[in-house]
Structure 1
Amino acid sequence: MKTVLGVFGDPVAHSRSPVMWNAAIEALGLDAIYLKFHVKRGELGDALRGMRALGIRGVNLTLPHKEAAFEFLDEVDTAAQKIGAINTVRLNEDGSLSGFNTDAPGLMRSLVEGGAKLEGARAVILGAGGAARAALVGLENEGAESIVIAARREEAAEALREEFAKSSRASIRAADMSHLHELFQATDLVLQATSATLEGNPHAESFAASIPIGSLPDHAIVSDLVYAPLETSLLRRAQARGLRTIDGLGMLIHQGAIAFSIFLGVEPPVDRMRSSLGLDT
């Protein structure tokens, strides 16, 4: 019997996940398929119960379901609890549903692949939302020395700092983005974790221009978690400055690869997943 996997979202038509998942499934010769399921806000509970009824092995969750899933699952992993979001749900043999978050480890794999040294790193995260939380958890786990959460609203950054600081081995600070010039002078890694650089955002260029890229050391790496467009306004400015950059598509690929292993128990061919999206291996 064919193993059915998929993604729940609203909207979901734009998702690129089926392309890379089905490419990996085909490459391994597995009898499985990955589909898109349009699950509207408020209908997630019904959809997850439908997983049990239909025997769907696993699903990924995208907006607006990542936070809403907690109440419908039997167990949730530590990363998902800390991040406050679930992006992977597995149907177990006993009929129970387990939730995971693969965003943090997926992002870290992407950064390492791009040449970033995470242990002992001095990092600045731009933003204090869900993507920033995933970045913070990942950096903590990888042994970053210091992490600054910089946001337009310093109170949002401070709330996130307060939540994580007591249990973290890293030094965590909160700051307003107006202080980036001073902060950047002792920064190894910048992670852009807001929606400011998304395709179609009329303020993308002005946002990038407000970030003092020139204050970063020559060895610094700039990463943008946004992958549409692949080359964001911020990455263009960093490249013009001569800095190494890492786009957001690697996170999409690697978080999917981790979920693939959770669902199917085998490592997927990441190079095949990448090439299916029109990227070089």
Structure 2
Amino acid sequence: MISGRTVILGVIGDPITHSFSPYLHNGVAATLGLDLCYVPYHVNSDSLQDAVAGLKALGVRGFNVTVPHKEAIMSYLDHCDEVALAMGAVNTVVNRDGQLYGYNTDGKGFLYALSDHHNETIQGKHIVFLGAGGTAKALSYVCLKNQVASLSIINRSLDKASLLQKELLTLNGDVPIHVFSRDDDASLAVLKQADLIINVTSLGLSSDDDLPVVSTDWFRTEQCLVDVIYNPKETQFLLLGREHGLKTINGLAMLAAQAAYAFELFVDRDAPFDEFFSMLADL
């Protein structure tokens, strides 16, 4: 039962109804016997500054940040840790004595999900990101820190992809980083040579969405497709990959892992991976 002592957590985004984060965090809190409540908040871009100020004023202990706010929210926080600053994106905010601290657990969650849950590595691989937003920043940062062979970014807006490329080159000038617009025929050759293709756009949240690529003629059975979307559990992109014999990975394991790392920051205890991953069984 919620009382005046209940710790309030949450997640902000637009859209938000698809989010499994409340189910995961509230379920794990119940399993661990913690008095907390995790609430989803629908916040559009025009309301972001007011929403952050309101959550701070209300004394909410912390909240997660999802699309499209991971970059914009940094302007409204009091502090960001070095990793979040380097990534240029925040997915976790903790309120400590009225000061908002920003972190990013996406990268660690991504690595944990791939290596510990799916037995997939990124070292020495040719990586392609579909999208150039906040999640692309976070995961690209992790890839550059883990000796990938090359990194390519394919995005609807070439200008936005080029800006991300410039930021990433300041972090690691040794790894080749290439950018392409989604409609550029040259992107198909890069996709064909890739080992790991990761969709970090929101295309796939709705059954009416276009694919994040203009063609799938480049599919090879040796490739692995990753989609950070977890609801639906199989996007059209992953479905087509599976039907062509490719290994496919949805965003559920990454969701659970990054949530466990965020939970660690919220409640100041070791990340409860087993509890978060056990919650996936009922999804």
Sort the TM-score into its range (normalised by shorter chain): 0.7 to 0.9
Larger deviation: 260-269 or 6-15?
6-15
CA distance in 2, matches of 1:21, 1:14: 15
Contact persistence 1:208–1:233 (CA under 8 A): no
* Structure 1 segments unaligned to the other structure (5+ residues): none
After TM superposition, list the pairs within 5 Å mapping 1:205-216 onto structure 2. 210-214=215-219, 216=220
* Residues 10-60 of structure 1 deviation map (CA, whole Å, 9 limit, x = unaligned): 553443211100111111122222123344544444444444444321111
Residue matched to 1:60:
64
Report the RMSD for the aligned CA atoms in angstroms: 2.7
SS of the residue aligned with 2:73? helix
| Match in the other structure for 2:142 | 138
Change in Cα spacing, 1:38 to 1:200, as seen in structure 2 (3 Å) is same
| In structure 1, C-alpha distance between the alignment counterparts of 2:158 and 2:16, rounded to whole Å | 33
Distance 1:127 1:212, change over 3 A: farther
The alignment partner of 2:203 has SS state of: coil
Matches for 1:96-107 after TM superposition, within 5 Å? 96-107=99-110
Per the alignment, residue 197 of structure 1 pairs with: 204
Report percent identity of matched pairs: 35
CA distance in 2, matches of 1:64, 1:156: 15
In the TM superposition, what are the counterparts of 1:1-281 in structure 2 within 5 Å? 1-39=5-43, 41-92=45-96, 94-112=97-115, 113-168=117-172, 169-177=174-182, 178-204=185-211, 210-214=215-219, 216=220, 218-279=221-282
Q: CA deviation at 1:152?
A: 4.2
User: What letter is aligned with 2:103?
Assistant: F
Alpha-carbon deviation of 1:274? 3.9
Verify the 8 A CA contact 1:223 1:245 in the aligned structure 2.
yes
1:127 and 1:54, CA in 2 relative to 1: closer, same or farther beyond 3 A? closer
Paired amino acid for 2:120: A
Which 10-residue stretch deviates more, 146-155 or 115-124?
146-155
CA apart distance, 1:64: 4.6
Letter in 1 for 2:196: L
Aligned length: 275
Identify the range of structure 1 (149-158 vs 189-198) with the bigger mean alpha-carbon deviation.
149-158
State the distance in 2 between where 1:72 and 1:209 align.
36
| CA distance in 2: counterparts of 1:262 and 1:274, whole angstroms | 18
Report how far residue 141 of structure 1 moved: 2.4
Instruction: Give distance in 1, aligned partners of 2:267 and 2:230.
Output: 26
Secondary structure at the aligned position of 1:56 is classed as coil
1:108 alignment partner AA = L
Find the aligned partners of 1:245 and 1:47 in 2 and give their Cα distance. Answer: 36
Q: 1:41 to 1:153 in 2, by over 3 A?
A: closer
Q: 1:154 to 1:6 in 2, by over 3 A?
A: closer
Shift of residue 202 of structure 1? Answer: 4.4
Structure 2 gap ranges (5+) = none
> Relative to 1, partners in 2 of residues 1:10 and 1:224: Cα closer, same or farther, differing over 3 Å?
closer
Counterpart CA distance in 2 for 1:208 and 1:64 is 20
Q: CA deviation at 1:170?
A: 2.2
Q: Is the 8 A contact 1:62 1:87 kept in 2?
A: yes
* Separation of aligned partners in 2, 1:98 and 1:232: 33
4+ long deviations beyond 6 Å? none
